[in-house]
Structure 1
Amino acid sequence: MMLPPTPRVLALREIVGDVRALAPRGRVIVAVDGGGGTAAFADDLAEVFREAGSDTHRASVGDFHRPRADRTLLGPETPTGFYRDSFDYGTLRRVLIDPFRMAGSTGFQTAAFDEARDVPVESRWETAGPDAVLVIDGEFLLRPELRREWNASVLLVNAPERAIYEEEARPREVATILVDDSDPVAPVRVARPESA
């Protein structure tokens, strides 16, 4: 089904075209990073991939939190602690990224933990075709230990990032595509900053 050609859809189609130029075939993982508020953009991007005929799946790093007791073991959560200890990247790789990349009939999980209830979620395994797309959103996806997992990454530059993340990961320098989504009706591509 063709989506109406709104400025948002046209901008998202351009991003899908850029991603497909980088990875025309095979399983593709696209990260949407940028503080909070990435889910709506990632949902819309997934819809445009579907419009283009891709078997598209959605996930959020927010569904891979660590238990509250683990995150606050050394005291109340701090900005540094939130950056370093919030998410369970081992589980993210084990149940989502690695099996998704394997293709074939290997199942993968798009969620592992319910942060609001502070409990693991019951496994719901999915499978996908050989040219499937996974769009994952959330904070800190361009940190050094994750950035090579993505075929492409979109950074929403209008969302404020935590200072420690900006200093350690430099997401604006490593993202494939920079977007200002402060006007969700008409997101705007942003030029990469000049290197110092």
Structure 2
Amino acid sequence: MGSVVVRPLSPDRLVEELVDRVVEQRPHERLAVAVDGPEAAAPDEWAASLVDPVKVRGRPVLHVPARWFLRPASLRFEHGRQDPDAFYTDWLDVGGLRRELLEPLEPDGSARVLPSLWDPETDRATRADYLTLAPNTVVLLSGSLLLGRSLPLRLTIHFSLSSGALRRRTPPERCWTLPAYARYEREVAPGDTADLVVRADDPDHPALVLP
């Protein structure tokens, strides 16, 4: 990554900084933003914290947790319910996510998106209604292991945890996922490839990494 500056911020100030970066991107176009990080870094919660401030700045927002685009249980659990390699490669319905949410946001897209596809709790289609998005809408896609999949994203934000913090903050029943996150670090290096990186070992004292 080269020489970097790590700037500690309060959570509120971090949200302000991230909102600044989001709203300045393609101000008259639809925009897909990934808020990525391991479950223990709470990417869904961080994405939710951006929604109202982005609206205040004049851009419509749709927050879509990636868990609504998981594949059916028969495919996710083909190799067992706690297979880290399947969690890494097979759980997310990348094709459905591209087709139903991200590709319609492209300049030549339809702007007609599906906010959810599959309910992992009931293991059934959500039967959500399609939405037609305004020209300057920001779609916040939040979840884990989102980068390195060639998704059409215009801004990527990665919440990073050190290996020690990841182990400490991952609940015991989810520790089987840790090898998947280690593989993600090796193969994708999200701390180097994301547009914005936040070190989140202490959620009350995050730090923004600046190149």
> What interval of TM-score do these two structures reach, taking the shorter chain for normalisation?
0.7 to 0.9
State which of 164, 188, 199 in structure 2 corresponds to 1:169.
Answer: 188
Q: 5+ unaligned residues in a row in structure 2: which ranges?
A: 1-8, 167-177
Deviations 1:152-188 (Å, cap 9, x if unpaired)?
1111113736111111111111111111344445532
Give the Å deviation of 1:128.
1.6
CA offsets, 1:44-69, max 9 Å, x none? 11222111111111101111111111
Q: Distance in 1 between matches of 2:80 and 2:11?
A: 43
Is 1:82 equivalent to 2:87 in the alignment? yes
Q: Which amino acid is the alignment partner of residue 25 of structure 1?
A: H
**Matched residue SS, 1:145:** coil
Distance 2:58 2:203 in 1: 24
Q: Which residue of structure 2 lines up, in the alignment, with residue 3 of structure 1?
A: none
1:140: which partner in 2? 145
Select 1:30's aligned residue among 18, 33, 54.
33
Shift in Å at residue 150 of structure 1? 1.3
The answer to whether residue 132 in structure 2 is matched with residue 113 in structure 1 is no
Counterpart of 1:16, as a letter, is: V
Q: Tell me the equivalent position of 1:48.
A: 53
Gaps of 5+ in 1: 1-5
Q: CA deviation at 1:104?
A: 7.9
Q: Check the 8 A contact 2:23/2:54 in 1, yes or no.
A: no
Counterpart-to-counterpart distance in 2, 1:166 and 1:97: 24
Name 1:15's counterpart in structure 2: 18
- The normalised TM-score by structure 1 is 0.84
- Conserved in 1, the CA contact under 8 Å of 2:103 and 2:109? no
What's the offset of the Cα at 1:101? 2.7
TM-aligned CA deviation for residue 15 of structure 1: 1.6
CA distance in 2, matches of 1:116, 1:183: 30
1:66 aligned residue: 71
Given residue 36 of structure 2, which amino acid in structure 1 is its aligned partner?
D
Counterpart of 2:6 in structure 1 is none
Aligned to 2:145, what secondary structure does the other structure show?
coil
Map Cα deviations across residues 95-137 of structure 1 (whole Å, 9 max, x no partner): 1111233578642111101111111111221122111111110
